[in-house]
Amino acid sequence: MSARFSPAACARLVVKIGSSLLVGSDGQVRRDWLASVLDDIAIRRAAGQQVVIVSSGAIALGARRLKLPKGGRASLEDAQAAAACGQIVLARTYAELLGGHGIEAAQILLTLGDLEDRRRYLNVAATLDRLLSLGAVPVLNENDSVATAEIRFGDNDRLAARAGQAAGANAVVLLSDIDGLYSGNPSRDPSAVLIPVVERLDVTIDAMADARSGSGLGSGGMAAKVQAARIAVQAGMHLAIADGRVDHPLARFDATSHGTVFVAEGGTSPRKSWLAGRLTVAGRLTIDAGAAKALKSGKSLLAAGVTTVSGKFARGDAVEIVTDGAVIARGLAGYDVPDATAIAGVRNDAQAAILGYAPRSAMIHRDHLVLL
């Protein structure tokens, strides 16, 4: 499948490095291994490829230094303290090792809100673009010391996919402590086989993913990797899970293609793929079967087809669209909750009398709507 996707051939690549690879059992950075990854990246930089690194490891590194139990994950306060301590170690290590190749490392710490809010997302996108055009290698992590449970990505797999989208990347490689997605759980099921290529990410693939993380150090697990893959492919990026347990894992993946590649979908606009990849919504519109049919044929969502409005949203916020209990689409609301509620189920020509102003053409315009 290397004919389809070679990470070496992308103009912009995101490489995610998991905690269990980066931090040894002694609680220190596995420096020789990391140096081998950064050697691979330096070769790519020299060949003109722009690379963004998403690095985990802050919590694991900080936990050992602060002598915290359970790898720093016993409580939110512990994780936040550990991250603050470990992040500075991570940053120093990347600056030193990339500096050895004459490459500037540039750190960005992100919370979920930074990529969910459209304006902040565009801001992050502009910063990444500038850093890459200046030849730097951005090193990203979640801002674990300030992010609370409600505003966390929680795993760097999804962060890598969202950041890749913001960076306008062509592909994401997740270096992992497993060599790819298996048809079952390889530690329990001896007949489980590696899936080299996923062309269509459907429920059968979800069922293969197992929420357990191999090592217990990171928080990702296969379920998070598949969620990251969904965000990536919908945004037009390939996503590869590659074995990070070897030295020079990127060069090795290029040479062997051993791993799982989720193939990018085409044809979605950047704005729509941003919407599809969002992890949070502010409310929900339940719609009838007629409206669901219209949406599927590419039409806007009219208020007449909306049966229930719930949540707390303002015009422009992301909402999910539900029919028969299933979320079928996501869109940016054309109205605040009170007005949306007032005109739900009402035909366009009767809306002005209710609203007291000329209504918009739709509850959600098709340009602001994405089918899931």
Indicate which single residue of 50, 93, 111, 141 sits in contact with ligand GLU (rule: CB under 6 A). 141
Binding mask 87-126 for ligand GLU (x = CB under 6 A): ----------------------------------------
Closer residue to ligand GLU, CB minimum distance, 111 or 268: 111
The neighbouring-strand residues paired with 194 are 182
Write out the DSSP string of 15-60: EEE-HHHHB-TTSSB-HHHHHHHHHHHHHHHHTT-EEEEEE--HHH
Tokens of 305: 């087809």
Q: Are strands 326-332 and 369-371 parallel, antiparallel or unpaired?
A: antiparallel
Q: Does 58 bind ligand GLU (CB under 6 A)?
A: yes
Indicate which single residue of 7, 57, 180, 221 sits in contact with ligand GLU (rule: CB under 6 A). 57
Q: Give the residue among 148, 41, 25, 305 at the shortest CA–CA distance from 369.
A: 305
Q: Does 317 bind ligand GLU (CB under 6 A)?
A: no
User: How far apart are the C-alpha atoms of 86 and 31, rounded to whole Å?
Assistant: 15
Indicate which single residue of 220, 221, 244, 305 sits in contact with ligand GLU (rule: CB under 6 A). 220
User: Quick one: DSSP state of residue 193?
Assistant: -
Task: Give least dist CB 67 to ligand GLU, A.
Answer: 17
How many residues sit close enough to ligand GLU to count as binding (CB under 6 A)? Answer: 15
Angle (CA) 49 279 343, round 5°: 130
User: How far apart are the C-alpha atoms of 84 and 104, rounded to whole Å?
Assistant: 22
Q: Does 273 bind ligand GLU (CB under 6 A)?
A: no
Q: Does 145 bind ligand GLU (CB under 6 A)?
A: no
Indicate which single residue of 17, 59, 239, 264 sits in contact with ligand GLU (rule: CB under 6 A). 59
User: How far apart are the C-alpha atoms of 161 and 138, rounded to whole Å?
Assistant: 15
Q: Does 144 bind ligand GLU (CB under 6 A)?
A: yes
Q: Does 56 bind ligand GLU (CB under 6 A)?
A: yes
Indicate which single residue of 114, 155, 254, 320 sits in contact with ligand GLU (rule: CB under 6 A). 155
Q: Are strands 50-55 and 137-142 parallel, antiparallel or unpaired?
A: parallel
Indicate which single residue of 40, 78, 114, 142 sits in contact with ligand GLU (rule: CB under 6 A). 142
Tokens of 123: 């801001």
**Segment contacting ligand GLU by CB under 6 A, of 136-144, 161-169, 179-187, 232-240:** 136-144
Binding site for ligand GLU (CB under 6 A): 19, 56-60, 83, 141-142, 144, 155-156, 218-220
